[in-house]
Amino acid sequence: MTETKKILRALAGETLDTPPIWMMRQAGRYLPEYRATRAQAGDFLSLCYNSELAAEVTLQPIRRYGFDAAILFADILLLPQALGADLWFVTGEGPRLSTIETQADFDRLTPVSEIDAVLSPVYDTVRLLSRELPEETTLIGFAGMPWTVATYMVAGRGTPDQGPAHALKDSNPALFDQIIDLLSEATVEYLSRQIEAGAEVVKLFDSWAGSLKGDDFDRYALEPARKIIAALKARHPGVPVIAFPRGAGARYEGFARATGADCVALDDGVTPVWAAAHVQKDGCVQGNLKSSHMVTGGQALVDETRRIVDAFGKGPHIFNLGHGITPDADPENVQLMIDTVRGR
Q: Dump pLDDT digits (tens) for 124-143.
A: 999 999 999 999 999 999 99
Q: What is the CA radius of gyration of the chain?
A: 19
Task: Mark whether 257 is an active-site residue.
Answer: no
Burial track 126-156 (b if 16+ CB lie within 10 A, e otherwise): bebbeeebeeebbbbbbbbbbbbbbbbbbbb
pLDDT higher than threshold 80 for residue 70: yes
Task: Mark whether 29 is an active-site residue.
Answer: yes
Among 53, 4, 27, CA closest to 142: 27
- Of the pLDDT bands very low, low, confident and very high (cuts 50, 70, 90), residue 3 is low
Tell me the mean pLDDT in the region 272-287.
Answer: 98
In the chain, domain spans: 2-341
Query: Catalytic pick from 29, 35, 157, 219?
Result: 29
Query: Catalytic pick from 35, 64, 75, 96?
Result: 75
Query: Catalytic pick from 9, 30, 34, 38?
Result: 38
Tell me the mean pLDDT in the region 230-259.
Answer: 98
Sequence length of the chain is: 344
pLDDT higher than threshold 60 for residue 2: no
Q: pLDDT value at position 77?
A: 98
DSSP string, 80-96: HHHTT--EEEETTTEEE
Predicted TM-score of the model (pTM): 0.97
Among 316, 220, 208, CA closest to 259: 220
Q: How many CA within 13 A on the CB side of residue 6? A: 19
Tell me the mean pLDDT in the region 20-29.
Answer: 97
Tell me the mean pLDDT in the region 105-125.
Answer: 98
pLDDT higher than threshold 50 for residue 59: yes
Query: Catalytic pick from 152, 190, 220, 252?
Result: 152
| DSSP assignment letter at 250 | G
C-alpha dist (Å) from residue 259 to 106, 195, 243, 252: 28, 19, 9, 11
Could you report how far apart the first and last alpha carbons of the chain are, in Å? 26
Q: Please state, as a whole number, how many other Cβ atoms lie within 10 Å of the Cβ of residue 302.
A: 15
**Three-class DSSP category at 287:** strand
Tell me the mean pLDDT in the region 81-92.
Answer: 94
pLDDT higher than threshold 70 for residue 202: yes
Task: Mark whether 124 is an active-site residue.
Answer: no
Mean of the per-residue pLDDT values of the chain: 97
Cα–Cα distance for residue pair 202/229, rounded to 1 Å = 10
Q: pLDDT value at position 170?
A: 98
Task: Mark whether 75 is an active-site residue.
Answer: yes
Tell me the mean pLDDT in the region 12-20.
Answer: 98
**Three-class DSSP category at 25:** coil
Classify domain 2-341 by CATH architecture.
Alpha-Beta Barrel (3.20)
- Of the pLDDT bands very low, low, confident and very high (cuts 50, 70, 90), residue 38 is very high
Tell me the mean pLDDT in the region 184-205.
Answer: 98
Query: Catalytic pick from 25, 193, 246, 251?
Result: 25
Task: Mark whether 38 is an active-site residue.
Answer: yes
- Of the pLDDT bands very low, low, confident and very high (cuts 50, 70, 90), residue 91 is confident
Q: pLDDT value at position 1?
A: 46
Tell me the mean pLDDT in the region 293-306.
Answer: 98
